[in-house]
Chain A
Amino acid sequence: MSLGITADPTVKLIANFKDQNGKVSKMITWMLSSNWGVAGTAVIQVIAALTNLSNAALLKWEQVWQGTVTGYTPGTATLYPTAADKGYIVFRSSAGARINFNFPAPIDAIVSTSDTTELLPASTALAALLTGIAANCQDAAGNSIVNAALTQRRHSAHVKTQVPGAA
C-alpha cells in the first residue's frame, strides 16, 4: 500500500490577536499555496495590513496547508475500527523530551493476543512505523527522535454505535 496526498490549491493564514485583557481572537484569510511561508512577502504584507487595522496585538500567525489522502480504500473492519481505540507511543528525543503520540484504531496485527492493552513493537507494521517516525520526525524544538520508550493500547472512551436510520 502506498498512499498519495493531493495538496489543496490554497493555504490558510490564521492571525492570532490578543487584547489588553488577554483575550485571543483569530482571523482567517486564505491565499494561494504559492504564497506558503510564514516569513514570506505575502504573509508579512497581509499581517502588516491587519496590524494597522486593529488595537489588539497581532502576536502570532500560522499557515496551514491541507491535503487529501488518496490511494487507500478502508477495508473490512478490524477488531475495533473506532477512533476511540488508540495506540499510544511515547518517543524520546535526543534532548530527553517525551513525545506523546497516538493513532486511532490499531489493527489486530500489532496488538498482543495475550494482553490486548499491549502493542507489539516487533510486529512488521509497528516496527516500520517506529522506524519511519524516528527517521523523519522530530520534537517540537527540532531535536531528533532516538527511540520509542513505550507502546500501549488504550480505550479513550466507550463507543456508542449508531446504525444509520435507526430510531
Chain B
Amino acid sequence: MATPGTRVTFTFQDSNFREVKTDLYFPSTVVTPNDTAVVSVATLLQACSGASLTRVAISQADSQTGTPAAGQYASCQDKCLLEMNNDAGQASNWKLPAPIGGMSGIFLSDSSTLNPAATAVAAFVTAVISYVTTQGGTAFTSSAIAGHRLMRKRLKY
C-alpha cells in the first residue's frame, strides 16, 4: 500500500555550511525532483530564506504486513556482507541483515562463507544485474558474487 503522497525534502545550507532539512508533502503525482510544483515551491522558499537551497529529494514508501521468520539467528545484528564488482571494476557491497542460515540457507557448510549457488543468492544476483546500479549509475553485468557473515555483536540468550 503506497502512501498517499510524495514527501519532498528541501536541504538548505547556511553561511557556516551547516545543513538543515525541511519536509513537505506533495500529491503522489509528483514523481520527479524537478516537477513543476516542486520547483515552484522551492523558488518561493528560497525567496524567504537567507540560506542557500542546495538539494531537493522526493521519496515514496510502500509496505507489506508480516512477521519476521523464526530463523536460526533472526537478529538484525547478524549480517552478511555481499560483494559484487560493477562494470567499472569497483567492488560494491551490501550488508544484509539476518541472513538465512542452516541447511536451507545462503551459506556454505562453514556457516560463514556465502554460497553463490544457493537459489536465493542466485535470484539476488539476477535482480542486481537487471535493476541495480551504483549511486553513479554504473551497472552490474558480472554474476560473480562473494560474501561472508559479519557478527558485529554476540547474541545473548
Chain B nearest CB, measured from A7 CB (Å) = 5
Q: Are A55 and B71 in contact (CB under 8 A)?
A: yes
Chain A nearest CB, measured from B114 CB (Å) = 10
User: Which residues of the other chain, B, contact A29 by a CB distance below 8 angstroms?
Assistant: 94, 128, 132
- Chain A interface size, as a band, is 35 or more
- Chain B interface size, as a band, is 35 or more
B58, B76, B94: the one within 8 Å of A24 (CB): B76
Q: Are A20 and B96 in contact (CB under 8 A)?
A: no
Q: What 0/1 readout, one digit per residue, does chain B (124-157) give for beta carbons within 8 Å of chain A?
A: 1011101111111100000000000000000000
CB-CB contacts below 8 Å: B42-66 with A: 42-66
Q: Are B94 and A27 in contact (CB under 8 A)?
A: yes
Query: Does chain A have a CB within 8 A of B88?
Result: no
Q: What 0/1 readout, one digit per residue, does chain B (3-42) give for beta carbons within 8 Å of chain A?
A: 1110100101111101110111111100111100111111
User: Which residues of the other chain, A, contact B137 by a CB distance below 8 angstroms?
Assistant: 9-10, 30, 32
Q: Are A137 and B41 in contact (CB under 8 A)?
A: yes
B33, B119, B130: the one within 8 Å of A7 (CB): B33
- The docked-state distance in angstroms from the alpha carbon of A10 to that of B136 is 7
Chain A nearest CB, measured from B33 CB (Å) = 3
User: Which residues of the other chain, A, contact B22 by a CB distance below 8 angstroms?
Assistant: 101-104
Query: Does chain B have a CB within 8 A of A150?
Result: no
Q: Are B16 and A161 in contact (CB under 8 A)?
A: yes
User: Which residues of the other chain, B, contact A72 by a CB distance below 8 angstroms?
Assistant: 46, 52-53
Pairs A–B under 8 Å by Cβ, sample size 21: A5-B56, A20-B70, A24-B76, A42-B130, A45-B130, A49-B127, A55-B70, A60-B64, A61-B62, A67-B34, A67-B56, A72-B53, A74-B52, A83-B20, A84-B18, A107-B50, A129-B48, A136-B26, A138-B25, A140-B3, A159-B16
- Seen from chain B, the residues whose Cβ lies within 8 Å of a Cβ on chain A are 2-5, 7, 10, 12-16, 18-20, 22-28, 31-34, 37-77, 79-80, 94-101, 106, 119-121, 123-124, 126-128, 130-137
- Known contacts A49-B128, A66-B57; 18 further A-B pairs (Cβ under 8 A): A19-B97, A29-B132, A45-B131, A46-B128, A46-B131, A49-B123, A53-B121, A55-B70, A55-B101, A56-B69, A56-B97, A57-B66, A72-B46, A78-B50, A103-B22, A107-B48, A129-B44, A139-B25
Q: Which 4 A-B pairs give the minimum distances between C-beta atoms?
A: A55-B71, A67-B33, A142-B4, A25-B76
